[in-house]
Amino acid sequence: MPIQRLDRTVFYIDGEGVEDWLSGLITNKWSNTEARFAALLTPQGKIISDFFVYGPWKGKDEGITLDAPSKFADGLEKRLRMYRLRAPINIGRSPIVVYAGWGDDLYDNWGHQDPRHPSLGRRYMQLESYDTLKSSGDYDAHRLSLGVPDSQWDFDTAQVFPADANMDLMNGVNFSKGCFVGQEVVSRMKRMTTVKKRMRGIILDGEAKAGDRILSGERVIGDVLHVNGKSGMAMIRLDRLRAAEYELRLNGEPVAVMKAVDGLDH
């Protein structure tokens, strides 16, 4: 079972009415028994931070546990405190570390199933003072092999819409849950337009880095966001990909664009 400690910050949020308060802000419902993938958006519909939402931490009867990329933690906490206003909501950071584990020998009772993709594996949280696990795998390479975008590596805050990062294909947006910040923009994009660009996994023959461009002839098909070995993630213009007349090239070498994370051609 390969595992890796992830660069995450865990928040614990509790107080009177915390479930309804958080539900009115984020893109998904939360569950008392399983992990849910969600995000807090700007009013314009772009991702401030994505995260996983869980029920109460061990030993607590109520409250919500939130597992977010550490690079987004300060901005996320600031925005949550802003939305708290005078509500009796407590927002604090917890000394909990987060691991991802994957592979055929993964225990079914180990942490929580990652809701984004069935092959991503499971996520496990442990108090840092009791933590004895040792990383033994490359989670970045694993998720790239599945074509799964991850904000830890692929994008920064307030840059992309949920659909750009495939959140709508990875159980990250609930369009029937009721209001959330940025909902009007996100719902309008779903109802009235075809998504023009999405993050897609790529398989490289040559070398590349973030910022390099994928070409069909002289036409730009997409931009590389992240590379790990011969795998990577790119933002792809879907209309141009479908209309490509020439072999796709990246820095003069062939490159393959994977199907969407759900296996379909969105």
* Residues 214 and 117 both lie in one domain: no
* Residues 126 and 209 both lie in one domain: no
* Residues 124 and 34 both lie in one domain: yes
Work out the pLDDT band at 265, boundaries 50, 70, 90: low
**What's the pTM value of the predicted model, to 2 decimals?**
0.94
Q: Distance between CA atoms of 155 and 139, rounded to whole angstroms? A: 17
Q: Where are the beta strands (DSSP E) in the chain?
A: 3-6, 8-15, 36-41, 47-54, 64-69, 89-94, 96-101, 112-113, 122-127, 197-204, 213-216, 219-228, 231-237, 248-250, 253-257
What domain range includes position 22?
3-137
* Residues 116 and 207 both lie in one domain: no
Number of folded domains that form the chain: 2
In a domain, 263, yes or no: no
In a domain, 152, yes or no: no
The predicted pLDDT at position 264 comes to: 67
pLDDT tens-digit readout, 72-127: 999 999 999 999 988 899 999 999 999 999 998 877 788 999 999 999 999 999 99
- In whole numbers, what is the pLDDT of the chain averaged over residues? 94
Q: Distance between CA atoms of 236 and 36, rounded to whole angstroms? A: 26
* Residues 17 and 122 both lie in one domain: yes
In a domain, 67, yes or no: yes
The predicted pLDDT at position 102 comes to: 95
Average pLDDT over residues 246-255: 98
* Residues 130 and 214 both lie in one domain: no
The predicted pLDDT at position 108 comes to: 78
In a domain, 142, yes or no: no
In a domain, 49, yes or no: yes
In a domain, 175, yes or no: no
Residue 167 has pLDDT above 90, yes or no: yes
Residue 217 is part of a domain; what is its CATH number?
2.40.30.110
- Percent of the chain past pLDDT 90, that is, above it, reads 82
In a domain, 178, yes or no: no
* Residues 210 and 128 both lie in one domain: no
Residue 79 is part of a domain; what is its CATH number?
3.30.70.1400
In a domain, 100, yes or no: yes
Are 51 and 32 in contact by the 8 Å Cβ rule? The answer is no
